[in-house]
Amino acid sequence: MEKRKSDVFFMDKLVELNELEIKKSKVLAAIFQKTISEMEKKKIQSLDANFEEQAKFYDQYLEDYEKTYQEMKNRYEEQLSQILEQYQELFVNLYLELQEAECNQKIAITNWKKSYDIKQEILDKANSSMIEEYDRKIQACIQKKQNYDIIIEECEKELEKCATQMEKRVNSLFQDKSSQVFLTEISFLGKIMNKIKNIFTGKSKFNTYVMEPMKVELEMIETKLPDIIENMEQEMVTFVAKIKQAKAETNQIFEQMI
Amino acid sequence: MESIILDGKMIKLSSLPKEKLKQILDRLNDEEIEIKEEISRILEEQT
């Protein structure tokens, strides 16, 4: 009776663990998705805000630049989406590896318990070689579970790295435009002077200091991004191969032990 | 709709701010450690 109670408790704990891991994966994905949406929104908002404020500073009508700006903004959004989608793909691939590892670990834990129970049942009836066989199975399952502890930890670390690296990389490539806004509080006289200067040089300055740098930055992003994405793909393939190798070695060790 | 049940209540994850989601994740991580320790304890006691 006591044994049955303990078995039910054990199975309950495994089911509980499984449910927790599912919940965790949903929350982790929601955090990642939220980070992506926030970054995308922030970058586009700062691009718009910077453009509007600079136009105001140089007394330029936004309508005059609407078509050119919209074209640049579309290209900017496209580049931003490309890198974010790549990180999303990386996240999904890493998560699949983690889920598989968690699943394999639970199988190892279940087999560990099963082997122990069978060993207890046959303890008085079976010969010593059969008992030794189950002892080996128990040890092999313990080893498998411990190996998966390391594999799971590696996958979790990589997932964390994916999120932090995404924020760093996107921020360095798509620099926050808000920081470039140089509109500060200027005196009334300063404003008058600025208006007069803008009549003569506003348009050319706006082109030199706003439109041209935006164009250059965009071209730089478009040049750099394919290499960045290629590197990311290579890193992903390398990591997934490393994890698959570790899983294969874990299975090999298990087979050798039993 | 991506949702989870927490403390008997269904929570729509997309409606929560990131900070709240991080708090939930921390809590789930702690619970996971506890369950894993309990499972290991049961197995170690038996072996």
Q: A210-244 pLDDT, tens per residue?
A: 999 999 999 999 999 999 999 999 999 999 999 99
User: CB count, 10 Å around CB of A2?
Assistant: 6
Q: How far apart, in whole angstroms, are the C-alpha atoms of residue A248 and residue A205? A: 62
Nearest CA in chain A to B38: A13
* pLDDT of the residue at A177: 67
Domain span at residue A55?
Answer: 2-257
Nearest to B2 among A13, A30, A109 (CB): A30
pLDDT tens-digit series, residues B1-47: 689 999 999 999 999 999 999 999 999 999 999 999 999 888 888 76
Residue whose C-alpha is closest to residue B47's, from A117, A244, A234: A117
Q: Do B39 and A14 touch (CB under 8 A)?
A: yes
Using a CB–CB cutoff of 8 Å, tell me whether B46 touches chain A.
yes
Q: Do B24 and A27 touch (CB under 8 A)?
A: yes
Nearest to A23 among B22, B28, B35 (CB): B28
Write out chain A residues lying below 8 Å of B21, CB-based: 27, 30-31, 34
* pLDDT of the residue at A193: 83
Considering only residues 9 to 28 of chain B, which have any Cβ-Cβ distance to chain A shorter than 8 Å?
13-14, 16, 18, 21-22, 24-25, 28
* pLDDT of the residue at A151: 96
* pLDDT of the residue at A26: 94
- For B4-27, b/e burial (b = at least 16 CB within 10 A) is beeeeeebebeebeeeebeebbee
Residue with tokens 């700006």: A69
Q: How far apart, in whole angstroms, are the C-alpha atoms of residue A3 and residue A23? A: 30
**Which residues of chain A are modeled with pLDDT < 70?**
1, 177-186
* pLDDT of the residue at A23: 95
Nearest to B25 among A14, A24, A109 (CB): A24
Q: Do B4 and A113 touch (CB under 8 A)?
A: no
Average pLDDT along chain A: 90
Strands B3-6 and B9-12, bridge-based pairing? antiparallel
Q: Do B16 and A31 touch (CB under 8 A)?
A: no
* pLDDT of the residue at A175: 84
Number of structural domains found in chain A: 1
* pLDDT of the residue at A180: 53
**Domains in chain B: boundaries:** 16-47
